[in-house]
Amino acid sequence: MTARQAAYEVVLRVFEEDAYADRVLRSAAKNLDSRDHALAQRLAFGTVQRVRTLDHAIGQLGKRPVRKLDPPVRAALRLGAYQLGYTEVAQHAAVNETVELVRRARLERAVPFTNAVMRRLSEGIRGLLDALPEDTAEAAALKHSYPDWIAELWWAGLGPEQALALMRAQNEPAERVVRLNRRKSGHVEGRPDADLPDALHVERIDEEALRAGLIWPQSRGSQLAGLVVGAKPGERTLDLCAAPGGKATQLQGEVVAVELHPGRARELQENCRLLGADNVTVVNADATKLPPELSGFDRVLVDAPCSGLGVLAARPDLRWRARPLPELQQELLRVAAERVKPGGTIVYSVCTMDPDENEAVVDASGLQIEPLGEEWPQFRHPNRPEFLLTQPHVHRTAGFFIARLRT
């Protein structure tokens, strides 16, 4: 398995089988060395992110709609077009390897067509991409490869300049940041963050330190949400949607971490063990149907399921499957209000850039807002200073909305 073959497997399965890019990559690239693994991830994730624009280029220059191509040919051409349009890979290597992928798929009859399209792409794709306009939401969605609804949401809410900056930022590789696990001691190379005490910027993820539980890969936006909870020794905190456990294992005191899906609950349990978070008790349950004894908590964290529009850089296929979940988010806040003791606090966080899932959900909850802007001025929400909002195009981290509330 080469890097390009692994990337091809990811692209094929994401769009033909609705698979998740990170899971396919984990399997397809498991035997690659670190350099080839990094190349496979770059090519696969970049192709998945840019697929709308790539399909436009293939259709224009190849003179045949992408939807009419055989799936292996479609996947190979998408991967080849990405290399030609967005990387510095040598043109002849991109062309030859793309043709070879189709040949390996036993589609010899499609080899001449694939070769011809790749030749046309090698001559014309850069000019075609450069000429795409971005003066409307719809045009920007095509140029930067987003569904129309996401581009329109940001265009209307942020204005054209900020929307374009956000689109560009989430087509770049996600920040490489880990959280130092203070429960264990050991040296880890990296640059400390200026704002968050346990965040470390690294050149690469130290797999040995990860296996030892010294670090946990976690964006600064996510770490900020865990810090805002403010859990202290002697307190009880309920984390309603806890897997994979990044925030739960940040918290001090007694923590009850709830996860609906059995497989993810097992993963959460294992991650707590790895990080030495023996203060965390994992409960495999539906957060909206908890047993009555789980109540009277000092703090509740609602890190709710959402459209994920703040983490599109790290999750390349999410933009094609994302959907807002305000009703579920409102229900989870209602549960939190029932389970927190009088005077306790609720932290609501979502990794999205959608006001309907952010401030609108909090406003609809009827809960009292505790202002956060003065406590964390560098992350103050630009329109609602009582909230926090990390913005990928401003803070170069995942987009997180964070509110702290009381009943």
Q: Which residue has the tokens 């899932």?
A: 357
Radius of gyration of the chain (CA): 23
Q: Which residues contact 392 (CB under 8 A, 6 or more apart)?
A: 166, 169, 170, 310, 313, 353, 398, 399
The string of DSSP letters for 272-299 reads HHHHT-TTEEEEES-GGG--TTS--EEE
In 215-339, which ranges are E strands?
215-217, 236-239, 254-259, 280-284, 297-303
- In whole angstroms, give the CA distance from residue 337 to residue 344: 9
Numbers of helices and strands, H then E, in the chain: 16, 12
Return the sign of the alpha-carbon dihedral for residues 406, 301, 247, 320.
Answer: negative
The Cα–Cα gap between 188 and 175 comes to 17
Catalytic residue among 241, 272, 306, 351: 351
Beta-strand ranges (E) seen in 261-406 are 280-284, 297-303, 340-350, 368-370, 388-390, 400-406
- The C-alpha atoms of residue 74 and residue 114 are separated, in whole angstroms, by 9
Rounded CA separation 83/317 (Å): 18
Is 351 among the catalytic positions?
Answer: yes
Closest-CA residue to 173 (of 83, 270, 39, 77): 39
The secondary structure of residue 46, as a DSSP letter, is H
Catalytic residue annotation: 351
